[in-house]
Amino acid sequence: MSQDDQDVPGTTEADAATRVSGRMLLLLADLFRFHGLEIAAHVKGLPSVDKPGPPPRWISWDDYVELTERLGHACGGPEGVARAMRGVPKDAYAELRSARGFFPDPAAFFAFYSHQIMPSMTPCFEFSMESLGGQRYRVRYGMRPGARSTEWFMCGTKVLVELFPTHFDLPEAKVEVVTLSPRVLEMNVEFPSVEPANRWGDWLARGATARALRKLDAEESDDTRMLTPREREVLALLTQGLTNAEIASTLGTATNTVRHQVASIMEKMAAANRTELAVRAVRNP
């Protein structure tokens, strides 16, 4: 039983198999709001979901399955759901994008996310991952006893596995379905390899950021002295050629926030564009 289950008095294994974290509503919102579908319009008659205020902490698994199927029908069935998932901007998956840099490759992150994060969100699923050599793995999802079956959820999970490497700015994973039923999804998955020289992870960026900050400190000018500590971090990343989205991912903040910070830095340093800003930041005093 997950830690989230343990702090709910009276929770049993059977309860865990029939509940899902309210955080899954937020994921659904990210998936579908870019396609003009608001979850609020589809929750009528679902007791554990149709409530005023923020999403409930726990949702009935039956209600979640029903909601998923309603949204799926609105998108045009399983194929429409797959298209909807692929059409969502990567920044929508904020949790995945913010944590990706702590792992050396998408396979390692996928294993961690599936073993540590997903059980607390969908405790009705059992998960296993077996290495087949290289970047190939046998991945299996199974419904626990007591949970309602849903082929919709399995189809959506297959698409999410395919898309997982795209959070590392890599191609989709190659997925060969071995078994797909309402209760079992088994796949052979080949994740794309990460070249060591690629600048894709926060853990790599942190070292480069520290070096850039030390350089800024050593070459501090009247321009950089006016910046806030966070603006100095943003400037250090900008001098490495990172985009606003990459800076936001590295710092665990929103892209719009970074955009405003870059504008503030440019104003304080009287720079006309990002190139001039980078040149001013690394010039000798």
The pair of structure tokens assigned to 267 is 């104003």
pLDDT digits (tens, 9 = 90+) for 60-107: 899 998 988 888 888 887 777 777 777 766 666 666 766 776 777 888
What is the structure's pLDDT at 140? 95
| pLDDT the model gives residue 190 | 95
**58 DSSP β-pair partners:** 21
> What is the reported pLDDT for 177?
96
Per CATH, the number for 3-190 is 3.90.1520.10
Question: What's the pLDDT score for residue 184?
Answer: 95
The residue ranges of every structural domain in the chain are 3-190, 202-282
pLDDT-derived band at 7 (thresholds 50, 70, 90) equals: very low
Same fold, 3-190 and 202-282: no
- Helix 23-33 crosses helix 77-87 at what angle (to 10 degrees)? 90
Global pTM value: 0.61
The confidence score (pLDDT) of residue 91 equals: 62
How far is CA 20 from each of CA 24, 77, 122, 135, 145, rounded to the nearest angstrom? 7, 22, 5, 31, 15
Query: In this predicted model, which residue has the larger pLDDT, 200 or 238?
Result: 238
Fold of 202-282: Rossmann fold (3.40.50)
d(CA 47, CA 60) in angstroms, rounded, equals: 8
CB 61 within 8 A of CB 19: yes
Q: What is the pLDDT of residues 150-190, one digit of tens each?
A: 888 888 889 889 988 887 778 899 999 999 999 999 999 99
Contacting residues for 263 by C-beta, under 8 A, at least 6 apart: none
